[in-house]
Amino acid sequence: MFHKEGFKIIINTFLLCAVLALLAEYRIENLWIQKAVQVVSVVLLILVLQFFRNPKRRTVLNENHIISPVDGKVVVIEEVFEKEFFKDKRLQVSIFMSPLNVHVTRYAISGSVVFSKYHPGKYLVAWHPKSSELNERTTVVLENNTVGKILYRQIAGAVARRIVNYAKVGDKVVQGTDAGFIKFGSRVDLFLPIGTKVNVEIDQIVKGGKDCIAAI
């Protein structure tokens, strides 16, 4: 299953690879060069297909759990001052996604969308300390009666060039369902209430829609 955000790119890549393979077959006489071009075309198509894969995951709904919004590696767990929405101290948990990860963003909790904003910006590498403030990004705040308010931020990386955000203020959302997509490499920051019990560690690999990041 592939994500709808990738359909156009997948079709265009398939057509490009097919044209390259046919041109190599009928226009290149050197067998080694011919086969090299065809192999590169197939590899390119496979890479695009794997990037836009969208595995269907069954999320076990739990109003006390904040689940991982994305696949990737936990790179930050620390108390910080969140200055865009809360304007106070929050517990930040950041997850870095390599180009090989699934890049679907999923809702970490069920509830209502109370804030959603897009910020244009730079394209620093996603693990850069300032990427959360300077890169292209979206900020979304979700709220329910159990957890209260949590904020997640989709951040574009050095390769990413488009963030897709489905969250609109007033939406009622369900934990684990699609919240958006980040094309070609990125990171997501979660900002949780101080004192939240974190269930992950630095460098831990997590799966979006499945693994519990923290519990209330």
Q: Where are the strands (E) in the chain, listed by range?
A: 65-67, 72-82, 88-97, 104-106, 111-119, 137-144, 148-156, 162-165, 172-173, 178-183, 186-192, 197-198, 205-206, 212-215
Cα Rg, the chain, nearest whole Å: 20
Assess whether 186 carries a catalytic annotation.
Answer: yes
Q: Which amino acid type is present at position 188?
A: V
Q: Is 43 helix (H, G, I), strand (E, B) or coil?
A: helix
Q: Which residues have a catalytic role annotated?
A: 186
